[in-house]
């Protein structure tokens, strides 16, 4: 049986790193658009800056549309990752270990959540409302292939 576990640092770092890249691209495109537009307004006879402004504005609008389209997916993903990191913190507190020593087998909260800790493996059983959980120690087969994503 193959299982992949994700460290607390992996979950925490994956929340927002790539979003900074999108913000940087949008910012650069906005600055380039403004510069071309200012240059065109100063020299109305130089049509190439008008055309470049239109091209950059179109690309900027396209990137903004993609960003807006992905916004709800990003928000949902961030919320789920935030929930799983909170679960890791709560498990660490209950077991009196540091969150960085814990790995989970999912990047979102689900019914089959397993936790790898220095004290062993645990299954997280949530109540019907999903607000509270209990930890149940489990034993895995020696033949289980455990892979851990992220530095530990």
pLDDT tens, 69-107? 766 666 666 666 677 788 888 888 989 999 889 888 877
Q: In what order do the strands lie in the sheet with 120-126?
A: 133-138, 120-126, 114-117, 103-104, 2-7, 145-149
The Cα 57–Cα 28 span in angstroms is 12
Q: Quick one: pLDDT band at residue 140, thresholds 50, 70, 90?
A: confident
Spell out the domain ranges in the chain.
Answer: 2-149
Contacts of 102 (CB under 8 A, 6+ apart): 7, 8, 88, 91, 92, 95, 115, 116, 117
Judged by average pLDDT, the poorest of 57-66, 67-76, 141-150 is: 67-76
């Amino acid at each position: 049986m193959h299982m992949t576990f994700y460290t607390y640092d992996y979950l925490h770092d994956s929340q927002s790193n790539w979003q900074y890249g999108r913000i940087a691209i949008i910012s650069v495109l906005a600055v380039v658009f403004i510069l071309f537009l200012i240059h065109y307004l100063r020299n109305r006879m130089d049509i190439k800056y008008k055309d470049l402004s239109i091209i950059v504005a179109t690309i900027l609008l396209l990137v903004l549309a993609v960003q807006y389209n992905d916004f709800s997916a990003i928000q949902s993903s961030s919320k789920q990752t935030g929930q799983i990191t909170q679960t890791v913190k709560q498990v660490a507190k209950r077991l009196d270990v540091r969150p960085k020593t814990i790995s989970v087998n999912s990047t979102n909260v689900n019914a089959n959540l397993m936790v790898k800790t220095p004290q062993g493996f645990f299954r997280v059983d949530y109540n019907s409302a999903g607000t509270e959980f209990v930890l149940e120690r489990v034993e895995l087969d020696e033949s289980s292939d455990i892979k851990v994503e992220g530095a530990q």
